[in-house]
Amino acid sequence: MSMINRKFRTVAAAAIFAGLATTAQAQTPTTITLVGTGQASANEWPIYIANAKGYFNELGVKLDMVAASSTASAVQQIAAGSGQLASGGLTDPMRAIDQGAKVALLRIHSQVPPYTLWAKPGIKTFADLRGKTIIVGGAKDITRIYFDRMVRPNNLNKGDYDHVYAGTTPARFAALQAGAVDAAILLPPVSFRAEAAGFSLVGRLSDYVKDLPFTGYAINTAWAKANKAPTIAFLKGYQRAVDWFYKPENRKEAIDILVQATKLAQADGEKTYDYLQSIQIFSPKGVVTPEAIATLVKAMADEGDLAGSADPARFIDPEIARYVIEAQ
């Protein structure tokens, strides 16, 4: 073999190897750490669907889901760079932004809060709550804002009842079961267990709240801007999952995915699906706009919960907000 042919074959082999290495590198998914309180709950149903259907993998991203004790903790972690995404109530990332943290609202997740208020069997109406102790998530938790929106139209004001706090639905239900409180604000499927145990349904939050988005995704601002492509890939996978969830023909498979991901009882999964479908919980588009969060910002300002102005636009990074539009 001539020297020229040997050199050609060496160069060709090197080129093929480089091409294979580049392809392998391109196929390596970008890992995004998602920190939140919704693990093993229906709140992250679209995430479970996207994982089960392979949407994220197809788009070149992989989620590393990390549990946090609260949304506030999740936001603190992504602000510090310990994760990229945080999921949970919108008030916590908004407080962080108000204080100057380098996080941004990425997408509205749940557009309607699925909370219901359950009480001891002898308590049937909102009027029966006078002088009683009600457990919500926290003094500045979104559940307290939601509770206020339920009771005010029913002529109950601060001072007519007492609040105690627990950050998760299971903890609040445990307090109700133990008789330590008179009423508790709960999420499904725990709310179905409250019904089965004979507690009274006092009210559904979805009957009172139409303009306060429930949960969303926040993101580390610097990471999002430096990693636009994987951020949009995440949003695309999530969007596909939401669209798939709303198709009635996918009901059985959607329930199976939830049951597998959360270890719920099949009956709880079925009830959860039907209830969340009935209130259209997941935002079909999820674009964060000043109009979408205006009422929530005002509610926080009215409670003295903001250090800065109540202009909703200041809570939105226009560049990152456009990612959701680009993903659709």
pTM of structure: 0.84
**So what's the pLDDT on residue 71?**
87
Q: State whether 312 and 220 are in the same domain.
A: yes
- Residues 129-144 have a mean pLDDT of 91
Cα dist from 20 to 6, 25, 117, 184, 228, whole Å: 21, 8, 58, 58, 25
**20 lies in a domain?**
no
- Give residue 33's pLDDT band: very low, low, confident or very high (50, 70, 90): very high
Residue 318 lies in a domain: yes
How many structural domains compose the chain? 2
Model confidence at 98, pLDDT cuts 50, 70, 90, reads: very high
Calpha distance 110→146 (Å, rounded): 14
Say if residue 247 is in the same domain as residue 196: no
Q: Is the pLDDT of residue 4 over 50?
A: no
Would you say residue 21 lies in a domain?
no
Residue 98 lies in a domain: yes
**Residues 70 and 185 sit within 8 Å (Cβ to Cβ):** no
Q: Are residues 78 and 121 in the same domain?
A: no
User: Based on the domain organization, do 143 and 65 belong to the same domain?
Assistant: no
In angstroms, how far is the first alpha carbon of the chain from the final one? 56
What is the per-residue pLDDT for 210? 83
Tokens representing residue 129 in the block: 């709550």
Among the candidates 164, 180, 207, a domain finishes at 207
- The pLDDT tens digits of the residues spanning 42-62 come to 889 999 999 999 999 999 999
| Last-in-domain residue among 207, 222, 244 | 207
pLDDT value, residue 7: 42
Do 198 and 235 fall within a single domain? no
Asked, for residue 1, whether it belongs to a domain, the answer is no
More confident residue, 4 or 173: 173
* Residue range of the domain that includes 126: 116-207
Residues 172, 218 within the same domain: no
| SS3 label, residue 85 | strand
* 145 and 224 together in one domain: no
| Same domain, residue pair 202 and 140 | yes
The percentage of the chain sitting over the pLDDT mark of 70, rounded to a whole number, equals: 91
Cα dihedral sign, 273-274-275-277: positive
Q: What is the reported pLDDT for 38? A: 65
The predicted pLDDT at position 39 comes to 64
Could you give the CA distance from residue 324 to residue 318 in angstroms, rounded to a whole number? 11
156 shares its domain with 64: no
pLDDT at 256 over 50: yes
For residue 2, being part of any structural domain is answered with no
**Does pLDDT of 41 surpass 90?**
no
**What integer pLDDT is reported at residue 283 of this predicted model?**
94
* 102 and 234 co-located in one domain: yes
Would you list the DSSP string of 106-175?
EEE-BSS---EEEE-TT--SSGGGTT-EEEES-TTSHHHHHHHHHHGGGT--TTSSEEEE-SSHHHHHHH
**95 and 128 share one domain:** no
H helix intervals, 263-305: 266-278, 290-302
pLDDT of amino acid 25: 41
Whether 148 is covered by a domain: the verdict is yes
Q: Kindly report the CATH number assigned to the domain that includes residue 182.
A: 3.40.190.10
Which tens digit of pLDDT belongs to each residue from 267-313? Answer: 999 999 999 999 999 999 999 999 999 999 998 998 888 999 999 99
Q: How confident is the model at residue 189 (pLDDT cuts 50, 70, 90)?
A: confident
Q: Are residues 223 and 317 in the same domain?
A: yes
CA within 13 Å, CB half, 276: 32
Residue 203 lies in a domain: yes
